[in-house]
Chains A and B, each alone.
Chain A
Amino acid sequence: MIALDIERLTSGYGEAMVLRDLSLRVAAGEVLAVLGKNGMGKSTLLKTVMGFLPARGGRISLFETSATGRPPHLLASRGVAYSPQDQAIFQDLTVEENLRLGLPRGTAFAAGLDLVAGFFPFLAKRRRQRAGTLSGGEQKMLIIGRALLARPRLMLIDEITEGLQPSVILRLAEVLRAERQRGGTAILLVEQNVRFALSLADRYAVLARGEIVDEGPVGGGSAEARIAEHLSV
């Protein structure tokens, strides 16, 4: 099954077109890493898929049903989890309250908390703390914890490693790998940390000026060199 199918997508802000005729596919259980320099449209791609930006042209399908023009909350209920780049938590709610918001309807919180605590133990220990007082890196972990709580079928992750300590990045890669093994979660990963992205991804795509300029499988060893070349120009 195809988790995400994008055909000739065009999107942008105001008069500026950021994505041009972009097409890509993510199969169920597959991890696609989207890499590229700043301002090339990586975040715009995720925002458009999630319905926060209207598509100016093209089609988006999720799990083989059309998702073009659907609002974010309907996509979320179809099993898409989005973790944006900015610190998208509710600052004035506690850690627990933030997590509860990620809980699918009819699921017990205790089980969910166990799940998240298995990923990031500190979240269970500090569930009464106001989320805004967590450090920047801890907030990132809360975002991913909340996303995973919903047991999503597709995750859209925007630069999650930014501001995380190295050991947490390793832990995060493990968590995402395990989650994918367990539930066949597909992931569209936007990253600046090439090593992390390639440690997780099956395929990569390099975005430049709103178009995919290179793509291929990660295995084989040539990917890293080719990506480095694209990023350095």
Chain B
Amino acid sequence: MAILGVIALALVAVAPLLIDEYSVNILVRSFLYGCIAVTVDILWGFTGILTFGQAAFFGIGAYALGLAVTTYDFSAPVVIGAFIAGPLAAAAVAAIVAWLAFAPKVSPLYISVVTLVQSVIFVQVIYSGGNFTGSSSGLSGFDTFDVPMEGWFRIAGVALVVVTALGWRFVRSDFGRLLVAIRENEQRCRYCGIGTARVKTMLLAASAVVAAMAGFAYAAYNDVIAPDLGNFEFGTELVIWVALGGRGTLLGPAIAAVLIDFISAYLSGTLPFIWQLIVGLVFIVVIVLMPQGLGPALANLFGRLIPAGRRAIAAVPELLQLPDPDVGGGADGTAIAIAGLGRRYGSLHVLEDIAFEARAGELVSLVGPNGAGKTTLIRCISDGMERSAGSVAIGGTQIGRMAPEACVRLGLGRKFQAPNVFDALTVAESLRIARARQERLSFWRRADVVRLPAASLRVVRATGLADQLGATVKHLSHGAKQALELAMVLAMEPRVLLLDEPTAGLTKAERSLIGGVLVDLVREHGLCILLVEHDLEFVREISSRIIVLHQGRILLDGSVAEVTNSELVRTVYSGEPHAEAA
């Protein structure tokens, strides 16, 4: 890849000597568009944020220079001021957009709508600016840098190579994999304690800054700016270029943006309206025949020419065990305290008047018929927005209306009922994301080790995941996904563990192994575990206490012997033959 970058830089240096002036002129713009396409790809292709608003940020950057120079003069303080103010304004707008679109429980589609509106507002603001903004005719002929066209070509070309190279490195870093994790399963990220809204906000702001800088360069070079630089048509075009080039490939969108803009400039002269139609048709054909875009399709073609043995295989990181944390004194506090908890869906009461406490060093099993409200209770303990009444405290702190990631920071870990993992990531990457709160994810490199606490490592080794660290999670069996999620939750070193059927889909041998791990965590490390489980035999072996939930209420809360010998439990729950006779 480094070689490719050097070749690209060399091309940028010599190209102005080889190609005609008109092409050089067009390519400056194409290169700047390529820079924005890269940011669109990072946002949409990698993180799943489908944005139509990058054009507006480009426009903001362009107008920052145009307005500053026409209002004041072309002097160093004004130009530097515009160079700082434009990207800052773009970042501020991005922050507002993010605040609107990344609120909890807002549909992921919302960001597309908000960014679309953002472009419309941008154009309207420019229109209504009168002489100040030049309204619909824009600004032109303002003083600008005295740089020859070849100079601009090299500036824009180097900018594109640098932005693409930085982006390339970034998306392959550990943090870059977090972006994919957010796209794949934002909920799981939040339950790993990661403030995903914050990550997405920062990313949107950073992309806005890059787009605004490109806009600044465009205004300085072109000396003509108009409202359509930031309209939603351009925003949509960027998305189309990314789709055509192959989203999630970075190089594909960068190349597609440059080529399409360049060819458009040539052909729009000779085939003014037909050209748009051709681009539209090509888009439809590519989406239908090559849904991943042209880039991956071409890469596949070349890939077949290279023998399988010679293809680079990503290095599989090494597993390391973390030293045991020192938790002598923590073994006797109240870990979970629940009072008067209720949950309604409309008129349906799923949970009513739930109250109990669980202490550190206790393994409490939650059993009950299907539909008794067990999973709902787990949800209410791990997300402050879920319950309709009552209070929940974790480790002595009331969760109030806390978001899941805040609850996780109180020491909570939650394993979901159905495996809740990152399909597109590898096993090792998933484990590293689970550790993100303890070990910062690098923006720049891939860690070559995964450090895990002993309990997590035991699960990884015993279930065979250790041999599949480089495997994509999508291809794992159902049981292996269950084991992986458990290992991820244990990797977070929680103090309070909520496990919703952690051994479903595992073999008997794997079950007893996991039972052993859980008992150790409780006895030796003083964790508090709340376990939902149907296998009464398993529950009997490992629990210190059992709570029976029936129709949304606590039916029984007692020792293992009390509960398993209760006639009531047999009738409502286990349906063992002698209970039916009774």
Contact = CB atoms under 8 A, between A and B. Distances in A.
Contacts of A162: 501, 504-505
A25 B507 CA distance: 25
B478 interface: yes
Given A39-B479, A164-B370, A231-B509, 9 more contacts: A14-B475, A38-B510, A87-B418, A135-B372, A136-B501, A137-B369, A159-B478, A163-B534, A167-B574
A39 B476 contact: yes
B376 to A, nearest CB: 8
B375 interface: yes
Interface of A: 13-16, 37-40, 42-43, 85-87, 122, 133-138, 140-141, 159, 162-168, 170-171, 192, 194, 228, 231-232
A39 B464 contact: yes
B400 interface: no
10 contacts: A38-B506, A38-B510, A39-B464, A134-B371, A136-B375, A159-B478, A163-B504, A166-B575, A192-B479, A231-B509
A185 B158 CA distance: 69
B263 interface: no
B573 interface: yes
Question: Taking each of B475, B478, B480, which has the highest tally of chain A beta carbons within 10 Å of its own beta carbon?
Answer: B478
A37 B483 CA distance: 13
Interface string B365-386: 0001111111110000000000
A141 B371 CA distance: 11
B374 A159 contact: no
Given A159-B505, A167-B574, A192-B507, A43 B477 contact: yes
A69 to B, nearest CB: 21
A196 to B, nearest CB: 12
B375 A135 contact: yes
B508 interface: yes
Nearest to B481: A38
A224 to B, nearest CB: 12
Contacts of B173: none
Contact of B505 (A38, A137, A232): A38
A122 B371 contact: yes
B576 interface: yes
Interface of B: 308, 345, 368-376, 417-418, 463-464, 475-480, 483, 501, 504-510, 534, 536, 573-576
A37 B369 CA distance: 27
Nearest to A233: B509
B500 to A, nearest CB: 8
Question: Taking each of B373, B418, B573, which has the highest tally of chain A beta carbons within 10 Å of its own beta carbon?
Answer: B418
Given A13-B475, A163-B504, A231-B507, A135 B574 contact: no
A175 to B, nearest CB: 14
Nearest to B472: A14
A165 B534 contact: yes
Nearest to A38: B479
Nearest to B373: A135
Question: Taking each of B368, B464, B476, B534, which has the highest tally of chain A beta carbons within 10 Å of its own beta carbon?
Answer: B534
Nearest to A140: B370
A137 B575 contact: no
B375 A38 contact: no
Nearest to A87: B418
Contacts of B576: 166
Contact of B478 (A15, A38, A170): A38
A86 B419 CA distance: 9
A6 B574 CA distance: 38
Contacts of B477: 38-40, 42-43
Contact of B345 (A133, A135, A137, A228): A133
A43 to B, nearest CB: 6
A22 B238 CA distance: 49
Contacts of A37: 479, 507
Contacts of B464: 38-39
A38 B480 contact: yes
A141 B370 contact: yes
Contacts of B374: 135
Given A141-B370, A192-B505, A167 B573 contact: yes
A187 B161 CA distance: 59
Question: Taking each of B376, B507, B573, which has the highest tally of chain A beta carbons within 10 Å of its own beta carbon?
Answer: B507
What 5 A-B pairs come out closest when comparing CB atoms? Answer: A167-B575, A137-B370, A38-B479, A39-B477, A135-B371
Contact of B370 (A16, A43, A168): A168
A123 B506 CA distance: 28
A37 B418 CA distance: 18
Question: Taking each of B308, B463, B479, which has the highest tally of chain A beta carbons within 10 Å of its own beta carbon?
Answer: B479
A164 B356 CA distance: 25
Contacts of B574: 165-167
A53 to B, nearest CB: 12
B274 to A, nearest CB: 39
Contacts of A136: 370, 375, 417-418, 501
B25 to A, nearest CB: 46
A163 B374 CA distance: 12
Contacts of B417: 136, 163
A136 B368 CA distance: 13
A171 B577 CA distance: 12
Contacts of B372: 135
A134 B574 CA distance: 20
Contacts of B507: 37-38, 192, 231
A164 B534 contact: yes
A42 B536 CA distance: 26
A165 B464 CA distance: 28
A13 B372 CA distance: 38
A159 B509 CA distance: 17
Given A138-B371, A141-B370, A166 B534 contact: yes
Contacts of A141: 370
A163 B372 CA distance: 13
A78 B373 CA distance: 39
Nearest to A35: B507
